[in-house]
Amino acid sequence: MRQWDKLFYHQSLKTKWTLSTAIVIFISYAAICIVIYIALYSWLLQNEENNAMRTADDLTAFLQSQRGSITIQEIQSNTGLLKAIVNQNQTVRIFNFDGYEVLRINDFSPSAKIDLSDESFLTTITKDEVKEDVFVIHRLVQIGSFQGILQLIHPLSTFQSMMQYVLTAMLIAGIGAVFLAGSISYYLANLLIKPLKDLRDSMDTVRDKGFEEQINFSYNADDEIGDLLTIYRNMMAELQQSFLKQQQFVSDASHELRTPIQAIEGHLSLIKRWGKNDPQVLEESIDTSLSEVARMKKMIEELLDLARNEKKDANATATIETVLGSVQTELQLIYPEAEIVIESSGKQKQVKITENALEQIIRNLIENGIRYNDKKPIIHVHVNYEDDKLILTIADNGIGIAKEHLPHIFDRFYRVDASREHNGGTGLGLSITKMLTEKYSIDMDVKSKLGEGTKFILKFKI
């Protein structure tokens, strides 16, 4: 049995399906046939027995009614009346008590043995199977002065051929049903398994040749398989996009890192050639190289921040005023000329974000307002608590961002004016800000006017 299980287990899904359907249909059909056959068999056999009994009863009733008025000789010479009672294929014999046959109507079956010693032979109906399948009924009869035994033999050949016919019909219909069920389930299995095969082929192709070589599925039905294919398609599209993004990110990162390295390389060669004798070249080159190294260090830190994309801390809370205070102190040290004005309205509440992430977001936005500014930087920060939200606005009086650049400022490595590289910008600050706001479900909006300034509006859920 285990071997059969193993054999079945390793068959294709199509074979399993076809085989199981055929087997289940065959077993159900066989069970129904067996029940019908047994019921039909007992019903028809009972019918035959009733027929035989009825003839025997009719014969004895007739002879009883003629008791005194007719002799055995008269019946012998005229069997017409008895023949009318007896069915065509039944045989009737009358014996005297010595076992001598005195009368016979029809002769389809040979006589059956009469065992006078067994008292019950008169009351039972026996099924004699020695010569052929027949019912035998015995009755005591009296005709005039004659007393004897009437023997009725009822053959079961019609019943048997009928049962044989039923059995053959059932077998033929059964084999037909199994073949039909097998073919239909094979067709259905083919129909339903084809998309799964396509899916497997598509996965194989993607594994071997990459995302470009995807198979298009023709199966569009609105069922579980259709759902599976749609999920697979969407998943592949997402994977492909994230794969492309990753490739783009790696190529952008290496390109961006190459620029400061090339600058440092250039300055080192300059020092090697002229710097030893020219202290001015030496000083300038070392300064530029150091600032490039600082920029590279910042970029690497930011890249690591983006790549790490740490999991959201669902239980974290932070007080915005505390974070604003520490960022303000830190930035005032770096940019003493800048003015950072913080105002707050409404009842103070905590927001669901880690202090570290909130600090990064606020520092990036305020620092950008200071860096991208050609006047004395004044940054207005306003914290407004409402019922279920907190609105934080950071507005600067800087150079502003042109309309066409606004949709791209959150893209990685995007810089509006690459020539302002001396600002130490990497084009990653706002990408990190966006990643953090998305992670903590903070709604971020930006409004800007060239020459007037930029305003970032952040909505936190409380």
Binding site for ligand ADP (CB under 6 A): 364, 368-369, 372, 396, 398-401, 409, 414-417, 425-431, 454
Residue (of 161, 165, 141) closest to 151 by Cα position: 141
Whole-number minimum distance, CB 428 to ligand ADP, in Å? Answer: 6
Tokens matching residue 96: 């005297």
Tokens matching residue 114: 């009469």
Nearer to ligand ADP, 113 or 258 (CB): 258
Residue 186 CA to residue 193 CA, distance in Å, equals 10
**DSSP-derived secondary structure for 342-406:** EEEES----BSS-HHHHHHHHHHHHHHHHHS-SSS-EEEEEEEE-SSEEEEEEE--S----TTTG
Nearer to ligand ADP, 109 or 448 (CB): 448
Whole-number minimum distance, CB 265 to ligand ADP, in Å? Answer: 23
Whole-number minimum distance, CB 249 to ligand ADP, in Å? Answer: 14
SS3 152: strand
Whole-number minimum distance, CB 379 to ligand ADP, in Å? Answer: 9
Q: Is the Cα torsion angle 16, 19, 22, 23 positive or negative in sign?
A: negative
Residue 339 CA to residue 331 CA, distance in Å, equals 10
Helix (H), strand (E) at residue 138 = strand 134-143
Nearer to ligand ADP, 260 or 429 (CB): 429
Nearer to ligand ADP, 206 or 406 (CB): 406
Whole-number minimum distance, CB 457 to ligand ADP, in Å? Answer: 13
Whole-number minimum distance, CB 242 to ligand ADP, in Å? Answer: 21
Residue nearest to ligand ADP (CB): 425
Nearer to ligand ADP, 138 or 455 (CB): 455
Nearer to ligand ADP, 148 or 400 (CB): 400
